[in-house]
Chains A and B, each alone.
Chain A
Amino acid sequence: MSELQHQSWSRLNDLEYAPAPESASLARLRDSYGLFIDGKFSDPGSHSQFVTLNPATEKPLATVAAGSSADVSRAVISARRAYDQVWSHMPGKERAKYLFRIARLIQERARELAVVETLDNGKPIRESRDVDIPLAAAHFFYYAGWADKLDHAGYGPNPQPLGVAGQIIPWNFPLLMAAWKLAPALAAGNTCVLKPAETTPLSALILAEILQQADLPPGVVNIVTGDGATGAALVSHPGIDKVAFTGSTEVGRRIQRELAPAGTHLTLELGGKGANIVFEDAPIDQAIEGIIDGIFFNQGHVCCAGSRLLVQESVASEVQRRLIRRVEQLRVGDPMDKNTDVGAINSAEQLARINELVDAGVAEGATRYSNSCDVPDAGYWFTPTVFTEVSQTHRIAREEIFGPVLSVLTFRTPEEAVAKANNTQYGLACGVWSEKGSRTLWVAERLRAGVIWSNTYNKFDPTSPFGGVRESGFGREGGRHGLEAYLNV
């Protein structure tokens, strides 16, 4: 452990930055929200309601309607009517106008959306401001461009939409995942019923206001909030032509089993246990930043997180020493503070899951290091944690933790690195760090993962397809490939 201790004579980040909090009042939240069906918000009083919390304080933000199966039915019927009567006949260049309008409105209300996202999710305002919201707008801009060019997307002349899409999104990037789902579906001519995650429904409801502002025809997008039961009602509704799900592998498996007999189109974006592979000839300082971004971005609530670090033995002790020093430097705390690097865990349930797996890691004999900062009393917190001396059989090397916990393993040869990286049920993302191009390519073509980053990690762009293989799911979101999921090809 002594080699993991950082030098204390020059403490990184020792300078105290005074708090620089963003104003919560920018969120302009209502007390309660109904469902967004057929272009209108329903009366909140007509539904049973549940509370959505700020995970950093455990204080309630608003109450939200729990959509029943009857509500789901109304939404699907509305989407079908909009599909038959308006959206599927509308020329692509007209659909594009709506998408461009939505994109611009997201930009105009970016600050408000960033605050809502941070309040509801617990992620640092720096990330919602610089990543989530700009990328969500970029996805609408990008797919707006495709709407009148579908003939040239490589799927033959005049490709047709699928119909009504049921879309279920997770809580880790609430607005961004809504954009990933809605933008390509609408560009291709489908209508949608979107079910946001139970713990993070608010930004989708602000998006509903934006859809109203954009004058999107009623029923083209319906947003039904609720829990797993609402999602299940949506998946099993006979009026749905296509299901797109992002979430856990366990739920994804259930959905696929249920839809198999019906032949409903399906794309799944599920869990992952990404490997960040650092070779001895890597640019070490940038690799450290990439490892940090890979696992502590969004508190590690990222399906493609680089939750396993595979580091070549010849540089392992140096990389571990620098990594620990850098982890100690992370600023954990109030997500609304512009200087916060790591925010709150999204829910008590997720925190319990992280604690369980970390306890298992300790019990199995891995060495634990955690950032020594104090965290607030209220709220759900887990300080950034690194496990060293992890072996392939440990649970923390195999199961998705979905939290700020990194498992460090070592390798000696490129062959061993590839074998260890592929030794997982998942296949979403990997990173390769080396200054030697031939080695990077050799490794990349042997990795079984949908996304491979070279000398970087967790970089997203609307033009680039994203998705997994094996138990990380199938289908691609983003880029030209993302259109295929919403076209009858």
Chain B
Amino acid sequence: MANVVTLPLRSQSSPSSTGADIVFGAPHQPSRIGNETELRVALGGLSGVDTVGANARVASLGTRSLKQGTKRALLDLAITMIDLTTLEGNDTPGKVRSLCAKALRPDPSDPTVPSVAAVCVYPDLVSLARTALGNSSVAVASVATAFPSGRASMSVKLADVREAVAAGANEIDMVIDRGAFLSGRWGLVFDEIVAVKEACGSAHLKVILETGELVTLDNVRRASWLAMLAGADFIKTSTGKVPVAATPPVVLVMLEAVRDFAEDTGVLIGVKAAGGIRTAKDALKYLVIVNETAGSAWLTPDLYRFGASSLLNDLLMQRAKQMSGAYVRPDRFSGD
């Protein structure tokens, strides 16, 4: 990452300090789960999630009071974690170019503002985005696999992925077949993720669980493990196309899953909270949840992302407030 934000950490510990076998955000091979029964045993053995308790935990973390240097550092970190997104039917080349310019230099009047992590677009706009971003550190992410519903044949989904990768996408955001998941055909979902992972080649794979359609936190935990076992590099909450997107309890459960997976396997999987996060205040609350659930290793764009568009301007506004002590007009920042 070109954008390095210095965080006020209580102790500096490197991932390898224990000498343990840690794979840091690198792609991993899917585990050798042979059939539906083995998958059922693996996912069925996960402990349940008590919704009341999970809600209480995020409410309690929401009362953390962030001041001064910590707030400054986290605002910058949040900017570097953004996948600046436009996924609309009316997207135009001009809109995407303008988004890429914003991704590179979110605030042209202040060179200390870091770039965002990635620009996220539909596959047909990938090559345009790649050109606009040039050799910068900003990645191009593309949704694929018949986003957002995932209702297409496997061959169409894989072709979608291959085209996006060929056009220069560094990251692929796939959707799982929620219908298959909810009807208990977990093996089908597993196989799809494995196939998409293979089609991705060297591109990173983010698996969208669409938690708003999975509804229960038990399902969120199972789907998280399913995706990780099948080879996901990131697990992502939502498409942003259904009424319920990322919520703090859902992100809490996903962070618990990546933490436990890392302890079991030594592989660190990323989490992306997408949709519905519009204010800097909310973003900082999510980072507190990351810090106190998965830990400081996840406080990096390699392992935590926000899928958002309007969030960026609020972060810029709060950042300017931290620097100057006064709020500036919203018009000080470009619309997109």
Contact = CB atoms under 8 A, between A and B. Distances in A.
Given A11-B13, A20-B67, A456-B52, A284 B8 contact: no
B295 A455 contact: no
Interface stretch (B16-24, B116-124, B126-134, B318-326): B16-24
Contacts of B57: 286, 289
Interface string A274-307: 0000000111111001100000000000000000
A384 to B, nearest CB: 15
A430 to B, nearest CB: 17
Interface in B119-171: none
B69 A18 contact: yes
Given A15-B9, A285-B256, A9 B17 contact: yes
A14 B63 contact: no
B78 interface: no
Contact of B47 (A10, A18, A283): A283
B67 A8 contact: no
Interface string B54-87: 1011000001111111110010000000000000
A12 B263 CA distance: 13
A10 B294 contact: yes
Contacts of B228: none
A284 B69 contact: no
A18 B53 contact: no
A282 B7 CA distance: 36
A15 B48 contact: no
- Give the most central of A7, A12, A17: most B CB within 10 Å: A17
B49 A11 contact: no
A13 B292 contact: yes
Given A9-B16, A283-B47, A339-B64, A289 B53 contact: yes
B291 interface: yes
A284 to B, nearest CB: 4
B65 A339 contact: yes
Contacts of A11: 10-11, 13, 295-297
- Give the most central of A10, A290, A339: most B CB within 10 Å: A10
Interface residues of A, number: 30
A338 B47 CA distance: 32
Given A7-B18, A283-B48, A290-B53, A12 B295 contact: yes
A435 B47 CA distance: 9
B259 interface: yes
B49 A283 contact: yes
B65 A9 contact: no
Contact of B67 (A12, A14, A18): A18
Contacts of A43: none
- Give the most central of A12, A14, A126, A289: most B CB within 10 Å: A14
- Give the most central of A11, A126, A338: most B CB within 10 Å: A11
Nearest to B9: A14
Contacts of A339: 64-65
A282 B53 CA distance: 12
Interface string B28-59: 00000000000000000001111011101100
A488 B291 CA distance: 55
Contact of A286 (B22, B53, B63, B66): B53
A10 B50 contact: no
A331 to B, nearest CB: 10
Contacts of A290: 53
Nearest to B57: A289
A130 interface: yes
A349 interface: no
A18 B67 CA distance: 5
Contacts of B53: 283, 285-286, 289-290, 455-456
A10 B256 contact: no
B179 interface: no
A339 B291 CA distance: 14
Given A11-B11, A17-B66, A289-B57, A283 B50 contact: yes
Interface residues of B, number: 48
A228 interface: no
A338 B54 CA distance: 21
Contacts of A455: 50, 52-53
A17 B67 contact: yes
A289 B56 contact: yes
Contacts of B268: 10
A343 to B, nearest CB: 15
Nearest to A338: B65
A149 B298 CA distance: 56
Contact of B292 (A18, A286, A329): A329
A2 to B, nearest CB: 12
A16 interface: yes
A126 B65 CA distance: 10
A9 B8 contact: no
Contacts of B66: 17-18, 20
Contacts of A20: 65-67
A60 interface: no
Contacts of A126: 63
A365 interface: no
A19 B291 contact: no
Given A281-B47, A282-B47, A283-B50, A9 B20 contact: yes
A286 B49 contact: yes
A10 B65 contact: no
A130 B296 contact: no
A15 B291 contact: yes
Nearest to A436: B48
Contacts of B17: 8-9
A17 B56 CA distance: 21
B298 A10 contact: yes
Contacts of A10: 15, 259, 262, 268, 294-298
Contacts of A284: 47
B47 to A, nearest CB: 4
Interface in B235-279: 256, 259, 262-263, 268
B299 interface: yes
- Give the most central of A7, A9, A17, A130: most B CB within 10 Å: A9
The 8 closest A-B pairs by CB, nearest first: A286-B53, A10-B295, A10-B297, A20-B65, A14-B296, A283-B50, A286-B50, A18-B67
Interface of A: 7-20, 126, 130, 281-286, 289-290, 329, 338-339, 435, 455-456
Given A7-B20, A17-B67, A17-B70, 15 more contacts: A9-B13, A10-B262, A10-B295, A11-B297, A12-B292, A13-B10, A13-B291, A13-B292, A14-B291, A15-B287, A16-B70, A286-B50, A286-B53, A289-B56, A455-B52
24 contacts: A8-B17, A11-B11, A12-B292, A14-B295, A14-B296, A15-B8, A15-B291, A16-B10, A17-B66, A17-B67, A18-B66, A18-B68, A19-B67, A20-B67, A126-B63, A130-B63, A282-B47, A283-B47, A283-B48, A283-B49, A285-B49, A285-B54, A289-B57, A338-B64
